[in-house]
Chain A
Amino acid sequence: MSPSPPRLPLRLLSRVLRNDPAGRAILGDLQEDFVGLISSRGPGAARRWYWRQAISLAVGRLIQGMLSAIGRRPMNDSPSLGSLLQDVVYAARAVRRAPGFALFAALIIGLGVGATTSVFSVLRPLLLAPLPFERPQELVWIANEGDAGNNSLSAVTSRSGNLRDFRTEARSFEGLTGYNAFFDQDAYTLTGVGEPERLAGVGVAHDFLDVLGVDLVLGRSFTEVEGAWGGPGAVILTHGFWWRRFAGDPQVMGRTLELNGEPRTVVGVLPPTFDFSSIFAPGVPADFLVPFPVSDETDQRGNTMVMVGRLRSGTTPESAQQELDAVVTALQEAEPDRWGLAARVTPLQEHVAGPFRGALLLLAGAAATVLLIVSVNVSGLMLARSPRRSREVAVRKAMGASRSRLLRQLLLESFGVSLLGGALGATLAWAMTGAVSRTAAARIPMMDQVGVDAGALLFGIGVAVITGLVVGLVPALHVTDGDEAGVLRASGRGSTSGRGVTRLREVLVIGEVALACGLLVVGGLLLRSFNAVLDVDLGFQADHAVAWQLNPSRAFESNAEVATFFGTLADRVAQVSGVQEVGLIDALPLGRSRSWGFSIPGRPESEDDGLGLYPHLVSPGYLAAMGIRLEAGRNLDRSDTRESAPVVMINEAGARRLFPGQEALGRFIQLWDERQWEIVGIVHDVHHLSPETDPGIQVYFPLTQMGDHQTLDLVVRSTRPSDEMATAVSAALAEIDPAMPTREHWTVLSTVDRAVAARRFTLGILSGFGLAALLLAALGIYGVLAQSVAERTPEIGIRMALGASAGDVVGNVIGRTLLLTAVGVALGTGLAFWGGRLVRSLLFGVEATDPLTLLVMAALLFAVALVAATVPALRAARTQGARALRVG
C-alpha cells in the first residue's frame, strides 16, 4: 500500500472538490506527486508540500466559487482608469459617511494585526530563524547526562578530558569544541588603561570560532599553541567591547592588554553578528574571549565545559549520539575509575530555544486567537451593516449599476478600512517589539535582535484584508439578480435582516465568547502561577540587601591568605556606619550554581547514588546578612578555622532527604577530598536555583575550610537607602584593595525580579491578549444586540402596545445575551481545558483544570456581556409603541 497524504488537508480537499467531476482525479494527481516527494525529499517535506497544495487549491476554489456566484469574473472586464478613480472616490465617501464604523473596524484590525505581528516577530529569531553561524543545522550541543531535575551547570557541563577524548575517538564530527560554562566566575580586571575595570571573559577551546564558522572582523582565531596550558596570552575582543573601549580602532590588533596582571595580546575582533552571551548565556555579559586549554590541568577542575560539535555531512544527531555512547562505554571500560563520562547530543538550535518554546508557542496561539477574534468581529460588524448596504446596493443596481462595478466599490471600501487597520497595527507592533526587546533581552536568548518582522506584519494585514473582503461581499451577494425590488420592499418596512444573517452573527458572537473564554482562563492560570511563584518562601529576605561581586586585584599564595584577605575586608565593611550585617558567599541565590557528588560515611554508596549537593561557601555573617533562619544547631563562626575540625550546615530539605526521621546534627558527609564534614547546623530552605525549583540538598561550607572559589559575592544588609549604602561600602572596599573594581553593585531584590522576569513577560503579554479578547467579545455582543434591537423596534413597539412591560422587553434582550454567552462559555471551557494542558509546563502551584479560575473568568465574561447588553436593552425598554410603528 502506498503512503497516504496527511488526513486533515485530504479531508479539506475532498470537501472542496466534492462537486467537481474531476475531483477524484485531482486527488489522485496530488497523491501521486506526494508519494514521489516522500522518496525524493523525505516525509516531512512531502507533508508540508501537501498542506500547501491543499490550502492553495482550496482558497483558489473558494474565490472562484464566490466570483461565479456573483455571475461575472471581474478580471474579464477591464475598467478604465476613470471609472476606477470614481469607485475610489465613492468608497472614500462611503467611509466618510460612516466614520465611526470605519474607525472602529480599523481599530479592531489594528489591535489584532499589532498583537500578532509582535508575537511572531519575537518568535522568529528564536524558534524559526537559523542561528547566526555557518550551516547552523549541523551544529549540536553536547551536554553531560544531567539527572532530571538537576538544573545546575555542573549537571550539563563536562570535564575537559571528555572533549579531548571525544575529539580523538568520535568520527561523527567535523569539529568538536567547547567553552568554559563557569566563565562568569573568572572575573578579569583590566589595568594599565585608565581606571581599573571589571570585565567578563569567556574561556573557549582554541578552535571554538572555527567550528562555529565565525568570520572575524579583524585578525584571526586562536592557534593551537595559544590554546595549550601555559601558552602565550591571547585575547579576542567582542565587537561591542572593541567599540566601547577602543572606539573601533583597528590599531588595537597586536596591542597587549593587562588582564588580572597578565599580558595578553589582542589577536582578533569578533563580528557584530556573533553575540556570545545572547546565544549561549543570555543576561551574562561577555567582553572578550580567551583560550581555555583542553588539558589535564583543566580536567582536574571537574565539570566545566559545554561542548559544541559540528556534524559531518550525512550524520544525524541520533547517529552521533550512538557513536558517542559507544565511545563512552569504551573509555569507561578502559578506565573504570573515571567519573563524569557521559554525553547527550541535541541540535544547538533546539537547545538555545528549548526552554522558551512552550511560552512562545503559547503566546503565538494567543495572538492567533486574538487575530481570529478580530476577524470574527470585523465580520460581525460588516454583517451588521449588510441589510443597510443591501438596500443601497439594490437601489444602485435598480438604477443600472453593473454588478462588477458594485462589487469593486464594496471591495475598495473594505480594502481601505483594512489598510488603515494595518497601518495602526504596524505602529502598535513597532512599539510593542521595541518594549519587548528592552525588557526581555536579559533572560531570553537573542531578544536584542528582535525587530518588527515584515513577513508577520504582511501576514496579519493579509488576514485582516481577506476577512474584510470576504465579508464585504455579503451585501453584494445578498441582492440576487432580479430581486432588487424584493430587497427594497423588505428593507422599506424596516424589517429584520434575513434569518440566516442573524443566525450567522449569533454564531460569530458565540465563537468570540468561546475564544475569549479560552484565552482568559489560560491567562488566569498563568496569573495564579505567577502569584504562586511570588508567594514562594525564597528562604531569605530580599529587601535592604545590596551585593557586590568581588575580584581582588592581587594573586594569593595560599587559601589561608585568601581567607585572611576576605576576613579583613568583611570586618572593614562591617564598620561602615549603617551596615547591620556583612556576608560573603561564592554565589548568591538565583544566580550561578554548581553541584558536587558526596557520600555519607558508613553508608553504602549505592543508596545515595547520583545525588548531588549544592555547595555554598560562606562567611559566618552570611546567614544574618541574607536573613536566612538557622533552624537548629549553631551557625558557622570564627572558631571554624583551617586548623579546626571541618564543619558544615545543611538545609532542612537536605537533612530530611539524607537522614529521614533521624537527627542530622552530628552526622557527617564526605566529599572527594576524603575529609569528613560534621553537620553542626540546620538552615531554613533557600530556593537557590529559581523560585520554582525544589531547594534540593544544600550544604554551607565555611570559607576558611573550603577554598574552591574564584570570586566571591559580598552582601550587605542595612537600613540606609541602597545607593547611599553602596557609595560608602565601595569606598571602604577601595581602602582594602584600591585596584579592585567596586562600582558595580546590585540589590538582592533586583535578582529576585530578574528570576521572575520571563514569567512576568509571558503573563504581561497574555493578559494584554486576554483583555483585548474580552473587549472584542463585549463589542461583538453589543453590536449584535444593538442591531437586533434596532431591527426589532417595530415588533417591540407592537408588543408593548399590546401590554408587554418594559421589564419583559429588557428580560428578553438580556435572556438572549445570557444564552449566547452561556453557549460561548461552555465551548470556551473545553478550549480552556485543552489550552491548559498545552501550557502545563508553565503552570506552578495550580492545576490545568483549576475550577476557581474557570468560574472567575466565566463570571467575568457574563458580567461583561451583561454590561454590553445594557444599552440595547434599555433602548428597547424605552420604545414607545406609536413611535416605533411610525418609524417602521
Chain B
Amino acid sequence: MPRLGEFELLVLLSILRQGERPYANRVRTDLEENARRRVTRGALYRTLDRLAEKGFLEWELEPSEIPERGGHPMRRLLVTAGGMTAVRDARDVLTTFFEGVGEATPDEA
C-alpha cells in the first residue's frame, strides 16, 4: 500500500474532520488557519490528484448554487476506505513513537 506524506495526511484529516464532504477551498482555509502553514493552490490540487491516484480519495462534481462561483460546480471530497486505513496506520505509527518519547514529550519539556 502506498505511503502517506505529511501534507497528504493533513489534507485527509482536514477532509475527515469537516464531515459533510468539503470542497477544496474549505480544506485550504482549514489548513491555513489551523495547521499554520501557507498552502498554495497548485500544491493542494496536486496533492488531491495524487491522493486520488493512490486510491485514498474520491470526489464528485456537484452543481453549485453559490453565486460567487459563477456557475462552476464544486468538487466534493470524500476519503475512501483505503484512505481511512492509511490515516489510521499513520496515526498508529505516530502514537507508537510519541509513547516512546515518554517524559520528554514536547508538551512537558
Contacts and interface: CB of A to CB of B under 8 A. Distances in A.
Interface of A: 1-2, 4, 21-22, 24-33, 35-36, 53, 56-57, 60, 64
Contact of A60 (B25, B46, B59): B46
A32 B69 contact: yes
Nearest to A34: B68
Interface stretch (B7-15, B70-78, B82-90, B98-106): B70-78
B41 interface: yes
A28 B62 CA distance: 11
A32 B40 CA distance: 16
B67 A28 contact: no
Contacts, number: 61
A28 B59 contact: no
Contact of B41 (A1, A4, A21, A30): A30
B46 A32 contact: no
A59 to B, nearest CB: 8
A4 B25 contact: no
Interface of B: 23-25, 40-42, 45-46, 48, 59, 61, 64, 66-70, 72-75
A31 B73 contact: no
Contacts of A25: 23-24, 61, 72-75
A30 B41 CA distance: 9
Given A56-B42, A57-B42, A32 B25 contact: yes
Nearest to B45: A26
Most chain B beta-carbon contacts within 10 A, residue among A22, A27, A36: A22
Nearest to A58: B42
Contacts of B42: 56-57, 60
A27 to B, nearest CB: 5
A221 to B, nearest CB: 43
Nearest to A24: B72
A53 B44 CA distance: 13
Contacts of A4: 70
Contacts of A1: 67
Contact of B25 (A29, A53, A57): A29
Given A25-B23, A60-B42, A60-B46, A2 B68 contact: yes
Nearest to A27: B72
A29 B24 CA distance: 7
A881 to B, nearest CB: 57
Given A28-B74, A56-B40, A56-B42, A22 B61 contact: yes
Contacts of B69: 2, 28-29, 31-32
14 contacts: A2-B70, A25-B72, A25-B73, A26-B24, A28-B74, A29-B69, A30-B41, A32-B66, A32-B68, A33-B25, A56-B40, A57-B41, A57-B45, A60-B46
A15 to B, nearest CB: 16
Given A1-B67, A22-B61, A33-B25, A28 B73 contact: yes
Contacts of A2: 67-70
A21 B53 CA distance: 13
A2 B65 CA distance: 12
Nearest to B44: A29
Nearest to A33: B25
B61 A24 contact: yes
Given A21-B61, A24-B61, A27-B72, 12 more contacts: A1-B67, A25-B23, A25-B24, A25-B61, A26-B75, A29-B41, A31-B68, A31-B70, A31-B72, A32-B66, A57-B41, A60-B42
- 4 nearest CB pairs, A to B: A28-B72, A25-B75, A28-B69, A60-B42
B46 to A, nearest CB: 7
Q: In this complex, which of B61, B67, B70, B72 has the most chain A Cβ atoms within 10 angstroms of its Cβ?
A: B70
A60 B68 CA distance: 25
Contacts of A60: 42, 46
Contacts of A27: 70, 72
A28 B64 contact: yes
Contacts of A33: 25
Nearest to B59: A22
Nearest to A1: B67
Contacts of B67: 1-2
A53 B41 contact: yes
A64 B24 CA distance: 20
A28 to B, nearest CB: 3
Contacts of B72: 24-25, 27-28, 31
Contacts of B64: 28
Residue from B23, B61, B69, B74 whose CB has the most chain A CB atoms within 10 Å: B69
B68 A22 contact: no
B14 to A, nearest CB: 15
A62 to B, nearest CB: 11
A26 B41 CA distance: 9
A22 B75 contact: yes
A22 B72 CA distance: 10
A24 B73 contact: yes
A818 to B, nearest CB: 45
B59 to A, nearest CB: 7
Nearest to A30: B41
Contacts of A21: 61
A36 B45 contact: no
Nearest to B64: A28
Contacts of A53: 41
A22 B41 CA distance: 13
A30 B73 CA distance: 12
Contacts of A28: 64, 69-70, 72-74
A27 B69 CA distance: 8
B55 to A, nearest CB: 16
Contacts of B73: 24-25, 28
A240 B68 CA distance: 57
Contacts of A26: 24, 41, 45, 75
B26 to A, nearest CB: 10
Nearest to B26: A29
Contact of A35 (B46, B61, B68): B68
B63 to A, nearest CB: 10
A551 B23 CA distance: 77
Contacts of B68: 2, 31-32, 35-36
B64 to A, nearest CB: 6
Contacts of B74: 25, 28
A60 B45 CA distance: 10
Q: Which of A32, A33, A60, A64 has the most CB of B within 10 A?
A: A32
Contacts of A24: 61, 72-73
A32 B23 CA distance: 12
Nearest to B66: A32
Contacts of B25: 29, 32-33
B19 to A, nearest CB: 19
B42 to A, nearest CB: 4
A22 B42 CA distance: 13
B18 to A, nearest CB: 15
A41 to B, nearest CB: 15
Contacts of B40: 56
Nearest to A59: B42
Contacts of B59: 22
* Residue of B61, B67, B68 most packed against chain A (CB within 10 A): B68
Nearest to A53: B41
Contacts of A32: 25, 66, 68-69
A467 B57 CA distance: 36
A598 B48 CA distance: 77
B7 to A, nearest CB: 14
A554 to B, nearest CB: 71
A60 B72 CA distance: 22
A868 B69 CA distance: 55
A162 B64 CA distance: 59
A25 B75 CA distance: 6
A1 B69 CA distance: 10
A28 B45 CA distance: 13
A1 B71 CA distance: 10
